[in-house]
Structure 1
């Protein structure tokens, strides 16, 4: 078992006396200290239009962390492919992988918050198709040495060689967030590593890992326990009052995320 960090930083809005960057700088220092204590990785979220300053430029912040660290693996959990130009994303991730000397772990997903898709004026119904097409382009961009073209439903590129190349070959390790049995089977079939969420119970996490292991082996590959990352929230408290406060904050955070996730029909996107 290895231990890493997962999370976000906040850039709070305010007047001229508010330093909106302090949350980012403290988060960078937090990662530097974690590396010195033996943590092996950090995985950052990507979110938009939250109203409370979650990380939106994930690769930018990871690049800053890369400059301050030596061994810490730099992960995305996750970059939402439907929102990004895949060629620009390939260039940006390759640059980070080179600067960090091969420390990038690329976690990707389709997205699940209705408000974010609404903000980008993008129907959530297109998420799967956009994800699949963007991933095809990304893989081609990372691995092709000769000029190539792509004419898809959402993206078109003509006679391009994407630069720079990645440090890790053929590309950085690929992680995918999944929770439903169908999505876990898909991750296993494609040979990617699995990111599991922070809210599922311990029993549910065990069931999902067991399913992933069996599906990986079904496809003729040996199961590597390090190909699964599980997110858990840990709060250090000293008194019953602090425990109650931590519990209330956790519940409030979950409800806030649920509000951002809900579609107009009152349903959530499956993951």
Structure 2
């Protein structure tokens, strides 16, 4: 009996010593500086596996590839890190990682660090956040990270710091398996970042227009442009936090049900049932 108890304790101790498996992906492509900085921030916190698109996939949202085959190949881009590039979308990367590389669900999925904002309405279009959302749908706690700087030479110092803080908290606090965080970092020197704010998504969007131009063959083409407009004056939003040099952390869900409207319709439409 004593031997059996010791054996059970030994197994539990071994499991505690096992590093968590952390899946890393993005939408800017496997060679983007952002994903390299994400890996650097967390590489000692678990067993890191990278599966990312072989080219930029920004704005792809939750697209999946169904019309043509996907290809997956190992790459040697990050020293000591198992990494693969995929011809598909960010969501494809997560699906393939779970089914064909890990053969199990990782303990955590981190997406990013995106070059550019994914606050407010951007979360709908973001390939970065859709990859993280796909993981959350698959019962994998996840987070998408974005730095408000589109430059290829962006300074990721502050972003790395807060990526690590948030990842350590997610691992320590054992969040719900469907947990999903949208994290945005202001593009200011690390010394000017005031800390983190848990926020709600601001009501803000792009006022869009299409520039009409002519190609060399005298055929019309259109180029999407727009100006970001914040219609939300609340001080508890992601936009406010970022404008005031805070890292914004918005808990996101994939259940899109409008429960307030559902309740109203159940009452007001009852007579028509």
TM over 0.5: no
For normalisation by structure 2, the TM-score amounts to 0.28
Q: Per residue, is there more strand in 1 or in 2?
A: 2
Q: Highest Rg: 1 or 2?
A: 2
Q: Per residue, is there more helix in 1 or in 2?
A: 1
